[in-house]
Structure 1
Amino acid sequence: MQSIFLFFGALSALIGVGMGAFGAHGLKNAISPEMLTVYQTGVSYQMWHALGLLGVALIRRHDPESKLLTWAGWLMLVGIVLFSGSLYLLAMMDLKQLGMITPFGGVSFLIAWLLLAVYAARKPQARRYS
């Protein structure tokens, strides 16, 4: 699938908006303010990285064979699942042990952005695409 990261970016944004609305309306009085903040952090990072996935998808249209871009996209997706997913479950189910998973998602995000920066640094000046 040529536009796999476009698909996952759009799907992640859809889910992020839904999770944000659920948190604002469904969880507001159901969980503590501290856990609601944890939940909102998951939503925020999911939305930023959904946009990151869309960016990777757009860049890959000009360089579909780039391994750096492919790895960056997959790591962003893994980061969303591990980081945001663990925060959602931690907040809603009060499963403190899930806090051990969250940093792996954060590291996935960091490596994804690093790979994107390395890709940008290695590419020659922007070319005009017609």
Structure 2
Amino acid sequence: MKDILLIFGGILGGLSVLFGAFGAHALKNKFSEELQKSFETGVRYQMYHALIIIISGVIFPFIKTSQQIMGWCFILGVILFSFSIYGLCLSSANNNKWKFLGPITPLGGLLLLIGWILFTINASEIAIYL
């Protein structure tokens, strides 16, 4: 599981840099100010969670089920949250909003929240031994 987290963390972090540059430059003239802000939110959350995915892969042994669930919540959460925002922004800019993505964003956010709760629980258990 540690290797999966480190790989996904690296990929998601790198993609957030790519998507951030793409949004700031290639899509700047295509997006309204509101769409630009939404796209940037997706990029920002993706980077934050790429970092916590990498940190989790480094500090946790992943011998507990809660640690594995935490890792998958972060990975799936960032994909559902950020990528649904990207899809909504791109489709809206083309006047063909993919409304089916709307409910996916909060589901991704819920998974991220669960990941953070599990991170806090697992980190507090590790801190006891330090």
Structure 2 Cα separation of the partners of residues 10 and 126 of structure 1:
29
Q: Which of 60, 73, 76 is residue 75 of structure 1 equivalent to?
A: 73
| Aligned counterpart, 1:32 | 32
RMSD value, Cα: 1.4
| Aligned counterpart, 1:112 | 115
| Aligned counterpart, 2:43 | 43
Q: Is the 2:42–2:81 contact (alpha carbons within 8 Å) kept by the matching residues of 1?
A: yes
Structure 2 Cα separation of the partners of residues 2 and 57 of structure 1:
5
Residue deviations 1:82-113 (CA, integer Å, cap 9, x gap): 10000001001112512211000000000000
Normalising to structure 2: TM-score of the pair?
A: 0.89
- Give ranges in structure 1 of 5+ residues lacking alignment: none
Structure 1 residue 124 displacement after superposition = 5.4
Structure 2 Cα separation of the partners of residues 17 and 29 of structure 1:
19
What is the count of residue pairs matched by the alignment?
A: 125
Structure 2 Cα separation of the partners of residues 2 and 115 of structure 1:
16
Normalising to structure 1: TM-score of the pair?
A: 0.89
CA distance 1:47–1:124, change in 2 (3 Å): closer
- Give ranges in structure 2 of 5+ residues lacking alignment: none
Structure 1 Cα separation of the partners of residues 64 and 73 of structure 2:
14
Identity %: 38
Structure 1 residue 2 displacement after superposition = 4.3
Does residue 123 in structure 1 map to residue 126 in structure 2?
Answer: yes
Structure 1 residue 119 displacement after superposition = 1.1
| Aligned counterpart, 1:64 | 62
Query: Residues 10-25 of structure 1: matches in 2 within 5 Å?
Result: 10-25=10-25
Instruction: Specify which structure has the higher proportion of helix.
Output: 2
